[in-house]
């Protein structure tokens, strides 16, 4: 860890959950170029749906990565771990100074509604928020392919705004960009997480040794009619920006539970 390059520019740590080779990561690096010094610390392999997993029973390794670097990239590493591992290890060991901002993405696929819970992309930004660093997670609402350009433009715009104005303590931004041409995106909407669930239906198969196995599949069900949700904004062609925190307390339930007898 050295301090031998200019420190008057913001330091932006970039991570993701699709892995160091993902096109969305390259698009994000290009999009943020010029905003500050960029460090890329991303998982060596895809880590989708890992939630907020961290690696506690095995060591992790960080490999300097020959990232095709715009001049602003001051360091790049691939880490044998989860997105949360990447952020923790980067901040403790890999980046030259404490980052001013962490940006995670650009994820291939939306991370809205209940999917926030499962998202590795969001977990990298959450980990930064826990460590007291402003952070955003950015996702393109399309499961395969598509143009990351418009999402990159909005990532840059929102990142610049956060660098300028900061975020409330403990709050990160979850950004979902509709898969539309830039000119068809109607702007930014600040939203809440829609209430939703997956209805699972595992597919059963039998292997050549006649043993059963299951593939997770499911149908996403939106249970929320609100116009102020992330899903509604995306459907309407807006970039959804949802402030998230990591206090999971259901405050609205505290009083009723305090009035119960627990001595049963």
Tokens of 22: 């993902």
How big is the chain, counted in residues? Answer: 264
Examine residue 46 and tell whether it contacts its own copies (CB under 8 A): yes
How many C-beta atoms lie closer than 10 Å to residue 51's C-beta? 17
What does DSSP assign to residue 34? T
Q: Could you say which of 21, 51, 96, 147 contacts its own copies (CB under 8 A)? A: 51
What does DSSP assign to residue 92? I
Q: Could you say which of 123, 139, 176, 240 contacts its own copies (CB under 8 A)? A: 123
Examine residue 21 and tell whether it contacts its own copies (CB under 8 A): no
Residue 168 Cβ vs its own copies, minimum distance, rounded to whole Å: 5
Residue 8: Cβ-neighbour burial (10 angstroms; 0-12, 13-18, 19+)? exposed
Nearest Cα to Cα of residue 122 among 240, 261, 258, 264: 240
Examine residue 74 and tell whether it contacts its own copies (CB under 8 A): no
Residue 96 Cβ vs its own copies, minimum distance, rounded to whole Å: 16
Tokens of 102: 């962490």
Residue 127 Cβ vs its own copies, minimum distance, rounded to whole Å: 9
Examine residue 98 and tell whether it contacts its own copies (CB under 8 A): no
Smaller CB distance to its own copies: residue 3 or 257?
A: 257
Examine residue 264 and tell whether it contacts its own copies (CB under 8 A): yes
Task: Find all residues with CB under 8 Å of 259, minimum gap 6, and list them.
Answer: none
Pairing of strands 196-200, 218-222: antiparallel
Examine residue 71 and tell whether it contacts its own copies (CB under 8 A): no
Examine residue 216 and tell whether it contacts its own copies (CB under 8 A): yes
Q: Which stretch binds its own copies (CB under 8 A): 3-11, 21-29, 125-133, 135-143?
A: 125-133
Examine residue 183 and tell whether it contacts its own copies (CB under 8 A): no
How far apart are the C-alpha atoms of 54 and 92, rounded to whole Å? 15
- Positions in 22-41 near its own copies (CB under 8 A): none
Q: Could you say which of 25, 43, 88, 133 contacts its own copies (CB under 8 A)? A: 88
């Amino acid at each position: 860890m050295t301090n031998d390059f200019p420190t008057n520019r913001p330091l932006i740590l970039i991570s993701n959950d699709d892995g160091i080779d993902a096109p969305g990561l390259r698009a994000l690096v290009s999009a943020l170029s010029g905003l500050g010094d960029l460090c890329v610390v991303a998982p060596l392999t895809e880590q989708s749906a890992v939630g907020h997993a961290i690696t506690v029973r095995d060591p992790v390794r960080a490999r300097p990565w020959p990232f095709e670097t715009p001049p602003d990239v001051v360091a790049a590493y691939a880490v044998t771990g989860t997105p949360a591992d990447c952020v923790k290890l980067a901040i403790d060991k890999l980046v030259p100074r404490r980052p001013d901002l962490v940006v995670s993405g650009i994820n291939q696929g939306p991370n809205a509604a209940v999917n926030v819970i499962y998202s590795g992309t969001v977990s990298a930004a959450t980990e930064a928020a826990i460590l007291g660093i402003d952070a955003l997670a950015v996702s393109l609402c399309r499961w395969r392919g598509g143009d990351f350009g418009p999402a990159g433009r909005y990532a840059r715009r929102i990142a610049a705004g956060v660098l300028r104005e900061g975020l409330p303590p403990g709050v990160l931004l979850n950004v979902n960009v509709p898969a539309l041409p830039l000119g068809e995106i109607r702007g930014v909407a600040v939203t809440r997480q829609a209430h939703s669930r997956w209805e699972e239906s595992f597919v059963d198969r039998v292997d050549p040794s006649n043993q059963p196995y299951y593939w997770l599949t499911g149908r996403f069900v939106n249970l929320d009619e609100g116009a102020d949700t992330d899903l509604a904004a995306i459907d309407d062609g807006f970039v959804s920006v949802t402030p998230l925190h990591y206090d999971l307390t259901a405050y609205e339930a505290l009083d009723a539970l305090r009035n119960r007898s627990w001595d049963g």
